[in-house]
Amino acid sequence: MSAKIIDGKAVSKKIREEIREEVEKLKSVGVHPGLAVVLAGDNPASRVYVKNKGEACRSAGIHSEEHKLPADVKESELIDIINRLNKDPRINGILVQLPLPLHINKELVLKSISPDKDVDGFHEINMGRLFIGQEGLIPCTPFGIIKLLEYYNIPVEGKFAVVVGRSNIVGKPVAMMLLHRNATVAICHTRTKNLKEVCLMGDILIAAAGRQGMITGDMVKEGAVVIDVGINRMDNGKLTGDVDFESAVKKAGWITPVPGGVGPMTIAMLLYNTLKAAKMGHHNG
Ligand code: NAD
């Protein structure tokens, strides 16, 4: 058996096209969605992410602006900029690119973003809303995973889902979203004993550990849906996931490749959240 491929590149393209059309319509009634990205320091990977986010916005017709700050920026200056953006009517979404320089308190910075403009969904209010099942802005990567499952009509209700990784940005929120969709969910982490046995129970297996190739075919249940969130750079510079694709593809029913799986969905959902925030702001305003 060889798994069917979940093509995140194609799905994200379609979503981005739909967003572009909706942005067009909004503009025709005078609403211009806008995203501000704040980058502190000169982490090369962050610079690439910020550039890609700006380009994605522009191709969707969304106003985009970048606020680049030096690595030694004061925490108070960063928060002042966020406060200004919170009040700026042209800006519907604010994203602070992580990681932040070490002298800056990440929690404090994320908390200073207005929850209504928090397009990354990392604010404690949006996290809280997600956990109690209330409407809010949802972190882009977990949201993208759920959209992929929906796009391919992959059933979640009653399934046993195993999430490997318990970070606040991927593992925990995706586990909660699967739970709200009536899956039975296990969350695994570095202290999990018998990881292989737990993974083998997964009708849906989500790998979000950041450990290259750690999920091998012998850890995959026959016919399982395998979602690889991991992005690991190999010695040759190429990207690879947390799943050993070669062996897992033989056991899985569905599988996401890396690259071209979850990654492109993350940026599509950022645009989606910006559009959603613009619509919310319009109704509130
Ligand atoms: P993280 O380092 O914050 O969390 C990793 C989690 O995995 C931790 O909870 C840890 O307990 C668990 N873990 C690590 N090693 C393990 C092991 N051997 N066995 C069991 N559990 C283990 O990472 P993160 O921010 O959640 O990201 C996870 C991966 O997803 C990374 O590779 C990251 O680059 C990638 N990522 C991809 C996207 C995307 O758009 N595709 C977005 C965010 C993160």
The number of the ligand 1 atom at minimal distance from the alpha carbon of 192 is: 20
Q: 194: which DSSP letter?
A: S
229 Cβ closer than 6 Å to some ligand 1 atom: yes
Shortest-distance atom of ligand 1 to CA 267: 40
Active site residue 212: no
Q: Which atom of ligand 1 is nearest to the CA of 170?
A: 26
Q: How far apart are CA 141 and CA 281, in angstroms?
A: 23
118 φ, ψ (degrees, to nearest 5): -85, 75
pLDDT at 1: 67
> Where do the H-state alpha helices sit in 7-165?
8-28, 44-59, 75-87, 106-112, 124-132, 140-151
Q: Evaluate: CB of 52 within 6 angstroms of ligand 1.
A: no
**What string of pLDDT tens digits covers the 285 residues of the chain?**
699 999 999 999 999 999 999 999 999 999 999 999 999 999 999 999 999 999 999 999 999 999 999 999 999 999 999 999 999 999 999 999 999 999 999 999 999 999 999 999 999 999 999 999 999 999 999 999 999 999 999 999 999 999 999 999 999 999 999 999 999 999 999 999 999 999 999 999 999 999 999 999 999 999 999 999 999 999 999 999 999 999 999 999 999 999 999 999 999 999 999 999 999 986 655
CB-CB neighbours of 243 under 10 Å: 32
230 contact partners, CB below 8 Å, separation of at least 6: 207, 208, 209, 210, 211, 212, 240, 241, 242, 243, 258
Q: Tell me the two tokens of residue 76.
A: 């108070």
CB of 211 shorter than 6 A to ligand 1: yes
Report the candidate in 161, 80, 186, 168 with the shortest Cα–Cα distance to residue 126.
168
The verdict on the CB of residue 230 being under 6 Å from ligand 1 is: yes
* Tokens describing residue 45: 């990977």
173 Cβ below 6 A of ligand 1: no
- Distance spanning both ends of the chain, measured CA to CA: 54
Q: Which helix (H) or strand (E) holds 197?
A: helix 195-200
* Domains defined for the chain, CATH in brackets: 31-117 (3.40.50.10860), 140-263 (3.40.50.720)
173-177 long-range contacts (CB < 8 A, ≥24 apart) are: 173/121, 173/127, 173/130, 173/138, 173/139, 173/142, 174/141, 174/142, 174/145, 174/146, 174/206, 174/208, 176/130, 176/131, 177/130, 177/138, 177/142, 177/143, 177/145, 177/146
**Cα–Cα distance, 261 to 5 (Å, whole number):** 9
| Tokens standing for residue 21 | 């059309």
* Residue having the nearest C-alpha atom to atom 1 of ligand 1: 167
Give nearest CA residue, ligand 1 atom 39.
Answer: 263
Which residues pair with residue 66 across a beta bridge? 37
Residues in a beta bridge with 240: 232
Residue 169 near ligand 1, beta carbon < 6 Å: yes
> Is 97 an active-site residue?
yes
Predicted pLDDT at 283: 62
Residue 68's contacts (CB-CB under 8 Å, 6 or more residues apart) are 39
* Centroid of ligand 1 to alpha carbon of 283 (angstroms): 37
Q: Ligand 1 centroid to 26 CA: how many Å?
A: 36
pLDDT for 98 equals 96
Q: Is 210 left (phi over 0), alpha (psi -120 to 50) or beta?
A: left
The verdict on whether 134 is a catalytic residue reads no
Instruction: Record the tokens describing residue 155, joined without a space.
Output: 């059933």
